[in-house]
């Protein structure tokens, strides 16, 4: 499993100063004011990497990238990385070589933002380690618990009650009425009656149009004026033979002379 783990880079800072620090003589914390801050013992590049659950602080040369020192970290905060009491830009780290020897040195950043990024990268890594440890612990506990058997035993059955599927006793399901266009319409409610639109009463105008006028009794002694005013005059006139004449205006003079009790009127019009 260790061979399959890969190394990831958490943080890179191009400028870091390294200081030789005096041994701590008491339990109080380190103080950066005790170091020679104006004369660092080494200056280079800092990289924070991780491989598995272990983080590494690597001090490398700026140009060649050669490793100057390395500090493996298994826990943070812890003895491998400590902050100083009088500044947030300086830290004390424990470097180790391949032979198991270790030493404590001081590192410092010129920019306060670089120190903040260095601190946060370590915090995020070990927060992830804590979550992974809790998840693996829960999975191991789940494996040791007895598993719940949800399978059916031999001859065991279940019954499902699905709503809106039962009908009343003695009644059948009502079919849906499908309308035009493939749309399904709901049937009318039970006991409902379809209202038939009433027939409108006939209007007075329609009644007046259908009343047949009484027949007009014709008299044999009717005058020629009554004949002209009679409604059936065109029909009787069509039955009488009309003498053929060349004078088309003669009927007007004949009609005027046939009216009784009418004095002749003098007119300047020329009679044809």
Phi/psi-derived region of residue 212, left when phi > 0, alpha when psi is between -120 and 50, beta in every other case: beta
- State the average pLDDT for the chain: 73
Domains of the chain: 7-136 (2.30.29.30)
State pLDDT tens for residues 210-224: 545 555 555 444 444
Q: Which of 45-49, 84-88, 168-172, 226-230 is the least confident region?
A: 226-230
Tell me, rounded to whole angstroms, the distance of Cα 146 from its chain centroid: 44
Question: 172, 198, 174: which is closest to 188 by C-alpha?
Answer: 174
Instruction: Indicate whether 61 pLDDT > 60.
Output: yes
Distance from C-alpha of 49 to C-alpha of 37, rounded to nearest angstrom = 26
Asked if 108 contacts 89 with a C-beta cutoff of 8 angstroms, the reply is: yes
The per-residue pLDDT for 194 is 54
Distance from C-alpha of 270 to C-alpha of 255, rounded to nearest angstrom = 16
E strands of 1-152, at which residues?
A: 7-20, 42-51, 54-60, 67-73, 81-83, 90-96, 102-108
For 227, counting Cβ atoms within 10 Å of its Cβ (0-12 exposed, 13-18 middle, 19+ buried), the class is middle
State pLDDT tens for residues 210-261: 545 555 555 444 444 454 444 444 444 444 454 555 555 555 555 555 445 5
Distance from C-alpha of 169 to C-alpha of 186, rounded to nearest angstrom = 21
Our separate counts of H helices and E strands in the chain read: 5, 9
Structure tokens of 94?
Answer: 């424990």
Instruction: Indicate whether 59 pLDDT > 60.
Output: yes
The per-residue pLDDT for 222 is 46
3-state SS, residue 119:
helix
The per-residue pLDDT for 204 is 52
């Amino acid at each position: 499993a260790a061979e399959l783990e890969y190394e990831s880079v958490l943080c890179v800072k191009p400028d870091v100063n390294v200081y030789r620090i005096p041994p701590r003589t008491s339990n109080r914390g380190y103080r950066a004011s005790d170091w020679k801050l104006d004369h660092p013992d080494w200056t280079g590049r800092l990289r924070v990497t991780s491989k598995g659950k272990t983080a590494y602080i690597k001090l490398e040369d700026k140009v060649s990238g050669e490793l100057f020192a390395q500090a493996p970290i298994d826990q943070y905060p812890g003895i491998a990385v400590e902050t100083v009491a009088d500044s947030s830009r300086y830290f004390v780290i424990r470097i180790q070589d391949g032979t198991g020897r270790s030493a404590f040195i001081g590192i410092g950043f010129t920019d306060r933002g670089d120190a903040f990024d260095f601190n946060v990268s370590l915090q995020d890594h070990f927060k992830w380690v804590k979550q992974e440890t809790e998840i693996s612990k829960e999975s191991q506990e789940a494996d040791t618990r007895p598993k719940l058997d949800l399978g059916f035993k031999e001859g065991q059955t279940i019954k499902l009650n699905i709503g809106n599927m039962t009908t009343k006793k003695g009644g059948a399901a009502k079919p849906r009425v499908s309308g035009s266009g493939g749309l399904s319409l709901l049937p009318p409610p039970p006991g409902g009656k379809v209202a038939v639109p009433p027939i409108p009463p006939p209007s007075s105008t329609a009644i007046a149009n259908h009343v047949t006028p009484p027949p007009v009794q014709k008299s044999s002694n009717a005058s020629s004026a009554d004949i002209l005013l009679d409604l059936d005059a065109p029909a009787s006139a069509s039955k009488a033979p009309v003498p053929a004449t060349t004078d088309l205006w003669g009927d007007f003079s004949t009609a005027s002379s046939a009216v009784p009790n009418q004095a002749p009127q003098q007119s300047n019009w020329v009679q044809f």
